[in-house]
């Protein structure tokens, strides 16, 4: 049997970490078994549907670097892969269920249903949900009423007694009392639109889905789907309900914990390799003693047996660590290519010489590689190389326990010493400055702090001597002169 799994998002929002985790586990399972990974767009919720979310879906997975074998954009033998293009099939199968005795027409209008719900709420009755008012209307009478033009929905007949049992690959054997299943849910609305449950089951069957891997929040719908499969006389796919992804506070991951959409992580400067590696470990293990896995290795090592039952805790600090590890693996050219969009967006290149700046930035990558946690940090770290930094206020130049006059003297000493330095020989330059600090009766840091602020505009910067080598003597002396004027 060929394994066939699917990711079936609803295009009602941008892709988020929970959805990406579901898609990634399905993809890895397909690759580890030699199966197929399918994308299906479940776009029946037209009130929240937007074409931009479809674009975001495609763009997200192209950026992440893993893709489906069949889908709306690439086709395949089981299309169409968009539910709104499959409505005729849903209507046909809903009527087939009626003929088999597994479903029925319901003529209750919204007014009656609203009164029913109000009465249940007021009376606090044990039975909540549809009261099965139309369940026992003779089939011939119901068909005649529909033929005459009376509006009706089609509801699934949930067995009134007994229980529904199924096996979950992760959670084991599960049994659900039928009295606890949502009573006779709607399968087909009066306007001909299917509900999620009908479309989901019909599509999984027709697309020959063998395994359904989805979040545990969908577990309550599983008994209803098993009942529907039985009513159709179909073999259901194997189920695997993945552990939830929670924030550090134990609640479902949401915006209050930080970024959750892939767009947010991407804009902040995370690398796709870091996201894939971290998300792949949310509730699953691979090889002991190893943290970083190329996607090809994850494809080989993934096993359902290695998925944890317990919820996964999303740790932003751990993800940041992954990001830093992958940043440090990049060559100067690769890293420069990655930070360039963030530098361009920051506006640093206004009036700057493009090719020359590119050469300068690539040479600066070794200075920031170990310091970058996110690609979006690059503009703040490298801006002083591209544009003249704003001159800092006087207080920034003054080392601890010194005054403005002493800081000015330090700048004068640095300005006099720099022309004697070979800035390309950092160890030799450091020796000269250390010797000068001793002559002045000062600490090396007291001599370098005013110089660092003058040259980079900040007390915290990439390595100072390497930065001055990139800027050149003339630009360094010009900045020292401006800083000296501020100190008076």
pLDDT in tens, 62-117: 999 999 999 999 999 999 999 999 999 999 999 999 999 999 999 999 999 999 99
Is 43 inside a domain boundary?
no
Share of the chain above pLDDT 70, in %: 99
- CA 198 from chain centre, in angstroms, equals 28
Mean pLDDT computed over 208-225: 96
Mean pLDDT computed over 198-216: 97
Assess whether 163 and 282 both reside in one domain: no
User: Is pLDDT above 70 for 24?
Assistant: yes
Residue range 187-201, pLDDT digits in tens: 999 999 999 999 999
Is 80 inside a domain boundary?
no
Assess whether 146 and 193 both reside in one domain: yes
Mean pLDDT computed over 273-286: 96
pLDDT confidence of residue 347:
86
Is 403 inside a domain boundary?
yes
- Cβ atoms of 222 and 216 within 8 Å: the answer is no
φ and ψ at residue 168, rounded to 5 degrees: -110, 130
Count of domains in the chain? 4
Residue range 421-478, pLDDT digits in tens: 998 899 999 999 999 999 999 999 999 999 999 999 999 999 999 999 999 999 999 9
- Our CA dihedral for 442, 445, 448, 453, rounded to 10 degrees, sits at -120
Domain end: 361, 380, 399, which one?
380
Assess whether 227 and 281 both reside in one domain: no
Burial of 184 (0-12, 13-18, 19+ CB in 10 A): buried
Q: Which residue has the tokens 């920031």?
A: 368
User: Is pLDDT above 60 for 353?
Assistant: no
Is 180 inside a domain boundary?
yes
Assess whether 119 and 260 both reside in one domain: no
User: What is the C-alpha to C-alpha distance for residues 15 and 261, in angstroms, rounded to an integer?
Assistant: 6
Assess whether 374 and 229 both reside in one domain: no
Closest CA to 269 of 376, 361, 185: 376
| Among the ranges given (39-43, 156-160, 258-262, 331-335), the one the predictor scored with the smallest mean pLDDT | 258-262
Assess whether 395 and 295 both reside in one domain: no
Q: What CATH number does the domain containing 112 carry?
A: 3.40.50.620
Domain end: 242, 268, 284, which one?
242
Assess whether 104 and 209 both reside in one domain: yes
- Give SS3 for 212: strand
Q: What CATH number does the domain containing 262 carry?
A: 1.10.1160.10
User: Is pLDDT above 60 for 14?
Assistant: yes
- Cβ atoms of 253 and 246 within 8 Å: the answer is yes
pLDDT confidence of residue 45:
80
pLDDT confidence of residue 253:
86
Dump the DSSP string for 371-421: T-SSGGGHHHHHHHHHSPPPPPPHHHH--TT--HHHHHHHHHHHHHHGGGS
pLDDT confidence of residue 254:
81
pLDDT confidence of residue 351:
58
Assess whether 219 and 337 both reside in one domain: no
Residues designated catalytic = 255
φ and ψ at residue 289, rounded to 5 degrees: 75, 15
User: What is the C-alpha to C-alpha distance for residues 319 and 314, in angstroms, rounded to an integer?
Assistant: 8
Is 249 inside a domain boundary?
no
Q: Is the dihedral of CA 336, 341, 344, 345 positive or negative?
A: negative
* CA 231 to each of CA 96, 240, 267: distance values in angstroms, whole numbers, following the listed order: 10, 22, 48
- The pTM (predicted TM-score) of the whole model is 0.92
Assess whether 289 and 305 both reside in one domain: yes
The mean pLDDT of the chain is 94
User: Is pLDDT above 70 for 368?
Assistant: yes
Assess whether 274 and 291 both reside in one domain: yes
Q: What CATH number does the domain containing 396 carry?
A: 1.10.10.350
Residue range 444-457, pLDDT digits in tens: 999 999 999 999 99
Residue range 26-50, pLDDT digits in tens: 999 999 999 999 999 999 887 788 8
Assess whether 112 and 233 both reside in one domain: yes
Is 63 inside a domain boundary?
no
User: What is the C-alpha to C-alpha distance for residues 194 and 89, in angstroms, rounded to an integer?
Assistant: 10
User: Is pLDDT above 80 for 126?
Assistant: no
- Cβ atoms of 397 and 450 within 8 Å: the answer is yes
Higher pLDDT, 407 or 123: 407
Is 52 inside a domain boundary?
no
Structural domain harbouring 411: 388-488
* CA 324 to each of CA 34, 370, 379: distance values in angstroms, whole numbers, following the listed order: 33, 8, 17
Assess whether 325 and 341 both reside in one domain: no
pLDDT confidence of residue 354:
62
Is 351 inside a domain boundary?
yes
Closest CA to 325 of 407, 283, 270, 281: 270
Domain end: 380, 401, 420, which one?
380
Cβ count within 10 A of residue 264: 15
- Give SS3 for 176: strand
User: Is pLDDT above 70 for 148?
Assistant: yes
Residue range 297-337, pLDDT digits in tens: 999 999 999 999 999 999 999 999 999 999 999 999 999 99
């Amino acid at each position: 049997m060929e394994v066939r799994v699917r990711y079936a998002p609803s295009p009602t929002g941008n892709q988020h970490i929970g959805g990406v985790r579901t898609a990634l586990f399905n993809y890895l399972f397909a690759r580890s078994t030699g199966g197929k990974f399918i994308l299906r767009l479940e776009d029946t919720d037209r009130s929240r549907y937007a074409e931009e979310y479809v674009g975001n879906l495609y763009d997200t997975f192209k950026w992440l670097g893993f893709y489906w074998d069949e889908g709306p954009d690439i086709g395949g033998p089981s299309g169409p892969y968009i539910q709104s293009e499959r409505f005729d099939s849903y209507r046909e199968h809903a009527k087939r269920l009626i003929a088999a005795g597994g479903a029925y027409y319901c003529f209750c209008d919204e007014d009656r249903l609203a009164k029913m719900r109000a009465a249940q709420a007021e009376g606090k009755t044990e039975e909540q949900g549809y009261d099965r008012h139309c369940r026992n209307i003779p089939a011939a009478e119901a068909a005649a009423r529909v033929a005459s033009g009376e509006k009706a929905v089609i509801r699934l007949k949930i067995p009134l007694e007994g229980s529904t049992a199924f096996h979950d690959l992760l959670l084991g054997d599960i049994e659900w009392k039928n009295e606890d299943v949502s009573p006779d849910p709607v399968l087909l609305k009066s306007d001909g639109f299917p509900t999620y449950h009908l479309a989901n089951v019909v599509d999984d069957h027709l697309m020959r889905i063998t395994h359904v891997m989805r979040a545990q929040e969908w577990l309550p719908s599983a008994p209803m789907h098993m009942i529907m499969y039985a009513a159709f006389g179909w073999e259901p796919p194997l189920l695997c309900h993945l552990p939830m992804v929670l924030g550090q506070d134990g609640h479902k991951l949401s915006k209050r914990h930080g970024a959750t959409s892939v767009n947010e992580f991407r804009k902040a400067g995370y690398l796709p390799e870091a996201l894939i590696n971290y998300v792949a470990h949310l509730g699953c293990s691979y090889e002991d003693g190893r943290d970083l896995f190329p996607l090809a290795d994850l494809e080989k090592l993934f096993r359902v047996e290695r998925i944890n039952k317990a919820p996964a805790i999303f740790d932003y600090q751990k993800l940041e660590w992954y990001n830093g590890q992958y940043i440090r693996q990049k060559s100067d050219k690769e890293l420069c290519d990655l930070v360039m969009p963030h530098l361009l967006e920051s506006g640093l290149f206004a009036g700057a010489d493009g090719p020359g700046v590119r050469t300068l930035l690539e040479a600066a990558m070794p200075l920031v590689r170990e310091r970058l946690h996110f690609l979006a940090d690059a503009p703040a770290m490298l801006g002083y190389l591209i544009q003249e930094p704003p001159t800092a206020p006087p207080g920034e130049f003054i080392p601890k326990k010194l005054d403005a006059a002493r800081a000015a003297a330090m700048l004068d000493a640095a300005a006099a010493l720099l022309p004697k330095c070979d800035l390309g020989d950092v160890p030799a330059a450091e020796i000269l400055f250390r010797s000068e600090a001793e002559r002045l009766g000062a600490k090396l840091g007291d001599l370098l702090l005013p110089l660092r602020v003058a040259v980079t505009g900040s007390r915290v910067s990439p390595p100072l001597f390497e930065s001055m080598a990139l800027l050149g003597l003339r630009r360094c002396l010009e900045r020292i002169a401006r800083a000296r004027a501020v100190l008076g």
